[in-house]
Structure 1
Amino acid sequence: MESYKTLEIIQKTPDSSVFHLILNRPSQLNALSLDFFVDFPKALSSLDQNPDVAVIVLSGAGKHFCSGIDINSLSTISERSESGDRGRSSELLRRRIKSMQAAITAVEQCRKPVIAAIHGACIGGGIDLITACDIRYCSEDAFFSIKEVDLAIVADLGTLQRLPSIVGHANAMELALTARRFSGREAKDLGLVSQVFGSKSELDKDVTTIAEGIAAKSPLAVTGTKAVLLRSREMSLEEGLDYVATWNSAMLISDDLIEAVSAHMTKRQPRFAKL
């Protein structure tokens, strides 16, 4: 398996189809460097194309999940964008931002579900990252902040676009404008995370169990559910229903359906082919 400067991929249990994608710069509190924005989409694509992978758990090494964008990276981007021509400088900066946005959006483009397991700090770019994930859980010690306004910038990697549909427009506006710190418990109350666990070890154990449960289901049904839910955000009810009808007309009649029905009738666990 390919190695990365800022990430580590681990299969914690042999023969498991749950793979762990770990932000691996603990000495920098897993701040997102320019290398991360190269590594991350490559790693996700590799996991997506690997038939042995059914579910991906995203977590952070060390004491914190992610402290946001690496400040040195912001300085580097600014320096590289400076030139004598304001137009060309701005065009270059826009391309760099779009490239970084695409790295985060790679989570949604990955067919396999991506579950965020958050402990400690989840700041700025960390929020961009988790809002793109399909499910989010955290430990009791987790804390969050949409920090960009305190750095005199507008959050531009997806938080302002994705968070309102998760926690509501008014809550997203308040959190983004104040940049205040909020706890894992408040994140649960807001709907940002689905569950809060008492410790990181409990988080890791239970999230792996949840991921294994999803991985045991039909991969056609799981990847299809993710795809339809994501597409439905952009559609009216009628358009969404039409889209899923078209999806199922192509995917519904499958060996997975036959196996699921057979397993239910004979009261056994289904066994699905890899995708």
Structure 2
Amino acid sequence: MAENELEVTKESKLLIIKLNRPHKRNAINLQMYKKIRNTLKEAEEDDVTIVVVTGVGDYFTSGNDFSLDGFGEEDMEVLTRNKVDYVRAFLHSLIHFPKLLVAVINGHVVGIGVTMLGLFDLVYCVDDATFHTPFSDLGICAEGCSTYTLPRSMGKSLAAQMLYFSKKITAKEAKDSGFVAQLIKKSEIPMIFESLKVHSTLPAKSLLYTKRLVRNHDLPALNVALNMENEYLIELFQSEDFMNALMTRMSKKQSKL
């Protein structure tokens, strides 16, 4: 991972994690997953009360980086399981993070970038962003505990259109469904950071105990969803449907170069 692909800054009791890979539409690679996970672990022991995740450029994130970098020559099942386990560990850290997690969506969101938002406590979003979950197009199943969180955060019907049929929705649709708390202009992102910095100085135990009470109801179901989704993903990432979809996707990218 390039040194600056993930920027971490702290202001008061607010920690900001910024995806800084705009040339790759902030696609998240294995090293970035690991660094985010380690950063959250450190924040658990710090005086931080709120962690914000945001991005640089026109994308919050385009989802998983499907490159095979980071692993040696292994059979496909071992390779797939290793990659899925990396992402699983990242998602596990989001599920069990005891402090407030806030997403400030700076642009378009794809794949796991969408699904992981169901594990955040609050989501702000620029008004021209879109949300896309092309799992069926890729021949894989939903991920990021979205099979549990999306129907509950945006309603069963809209979640079904996104998860089954890869429907792309606008920021307004996300806000109207309750998935997003507030729409903002891109120029207003610094104001949101300032507001969250003020909120981060609220009594820590009040914030953390309330989060614990809210999350406690969902923990068993989230863990079940995570484990089931991952087992299906390990199978589907080795399928002919996924391989064909991935090759088509890569050839389209090459043709644009």
Q: TM-score range by the shorter chain?
A: 0.7 to 0.9
Matched, 1:226 2:225: no
- Partner SS, residue 228 of structure 1: helix
Matched, 1:23 2:10: no
**1:234 Cα deviation from its structure 2 partner:** 5.2
Could you tell me which residue of structure 2 aligns to residue 160 of structure 1? 147
Aligned residues: 220
Could you tell me which residue of structure 2 aligns to residue 144 of structure 1? 131
Q: How much identity, in percent, do the aligned residues show?
A: 25
CA distance in 2, matches of 1:166, 1:116: 15
Residue number among 189, 196, 217 corresponding to 1:203 in the alignment? 189
Q: How does 1:37-116 map to 2 (within 5 A)?
A: 37-51=33-47, 53-73=48-68, 80-82=74-76, 89=77, 93-94=80-81, 96-116=83-103
CA distance in 1, matches of 2:63, 2:86: 17
CA distance in 2, matches of 1:141, 1:42: 31
- Partner SS, residue 141 of structure 2: coil
TM value normalised by structure 1: 0.72
Matched, 1:8 2:7: yes
Could you tell me which residue of structure 1 aligns to residue 167 of structure 2? 180
Could you tell me which residue of structure 2 aligns to residue 119 of structure 1? 106
Larger RCO, structure (CA 8 Å, separation 6 or more): 2
**1:76 Cα deviation from its structure 2 partner:** 7.7
**1:56 Cα deviation from its structure 2 partner:** 1.1
**1:224 Cα deviation from its structure 2 partner:** 1.0
Residue number among 128, 133, 157 corresponding to 2:120 in the alignment? 133
CA distance in 2, matches of 1:47, 1:154: 31
RMSD: 2.5
CA contact (8 A) 2:40 2:97 kept: yes
**1:233 Cα deviation from its structure 2 partner:** 2.5
Out of 108-117 and 158-167, give the one that drifted further: 158-167
Structure 1: unaligned runs, 5 residues or longer: 83-88, 236-275
CA contact (8 A) 1:147 1:179 kept: yes
CA distance in 2, matches of 1:212, 1:81: 47
CA distance in 2, matches of 1:178, 1:210: 37
CA contact (8 A) 2:122 2:180 kept: yes
CA contact (8 A) 1:119 1:141 kept: no
Could you tell me which residue of structure 1 aligns to residue 255 of structure 2? none
TM value normalised by structure 2: 0.77
CA contact (8 A) 1:6 1:35 kept: no
Q: Deviation string for 1:111-159 (max 9, x for gaps)?
A: 2201000021100010123222110010111110111111111122322
CA contact (8 A) 1:30 1:65 kept: yes
**1:204 Cα deviation from its structure 2 partner:** 3.3
Question: 1:72 is aligned with what amino acid?
Answer: S
- Partner SS, residue 71 of structure 1: coil
